[in-house]
Amino acid sequence: MFYSDQLFPECSAIDLRLVDLLKARGGGNRIAYVASGPEPDRSFFLAGQSYYGRHDLDLALFYDLDEPHPAEDIAGLFASDAIHLAGGHTGEFLQRLKRSGMLGPLRNWAPSGGILIGVSAGAILMGPTIATDALFIGRRPEEITDGNALDLMPFEFFPHLSDEDTYLPDLLRYSTGTARPIVACNDGDGVVVAGGKIECVGNPLWISGGAVRAPGEIELGGFSIA
């Protein structure tokens, strides 16, 4: 599940799809939270508990990638009904995932039936590369050569599209040099992927070959777009 952000009323449509998916997979409501960086006061985790609690979902486990964890902690993470990848600094989040050895396990867990929830940086990480994040730090996506990420979906993700007027033209330019389509979302929009189906919530833009495309123009092997 790809969220641009979770602070907007429009996100409720994505939330309800999450509830539906959890019910379809046995009705569990326990979500683990993987922090993108240091969070000593756990303020974002606590805000997340309130957010998910509105739908009777339990953000029950806080997982700090910078801390060593015994085997039972890791088992508890992957025993959760869903895992939330938090927002934050995407590049630093990726490096923490690599250093902690969690990139591979997360990559394997999702296709085996786990529900991954990515918000902003966490959503970017679920694509093949974090290259689009370059636009948030004053760089060009083409300059990112060490951004290989979870590679769970055959598209790149870009959140917060409406924050700067330059983001869309920069993404259009970048799309002329990459074979992968880019999904760009305003806050409140998102994408839900389940059972080989990609569901657009709100009005995500599909960008490919230098243009904004209709979903029907996008070819993603093994996936259909609704």
pLDDT tens, position by position, 93-126 = 999 999 999 999 999 998 888 899 999 999 999 9
> Tell me, what's the pLDDT at 70?
93
Residue 9 clears pLDDT 90, i.e. is over it: no
Contact call for residues 109 and 78 (beta carbons, < 8 A): yes
The encoded tokens of residue 152 equal 């769970």
Arithmetic mean of pLDDT, 67-93: 96
The radius of gyration computed from the CA coordinates of the chain, to the nearest angstrom, equals: 17
Distance of CA 129 to the CA centre of its chain: 12
For 45, half-sphere exposure in the C-beta direction (CA atoms, 13 angstrom radius) is 19
d(Cα 173, Cα 57) in Å, to the nearest integer? 40
3-state secondary structure of 148: strand
Query: Cα–Cα distance between 36 and 46 in angstroms, integer?
Result: 15
Q: How far is CA 45 from the centre of its chain?
A: 16
pLDDT tens digits, 135-165: 999 999 999 989 999 999 999 999 999 999 9
Question: Domains in the chain, please, with CATH?
Answer: 2-225 (3.40.50.880)
Quote the tokens at residue 150: 């979870």
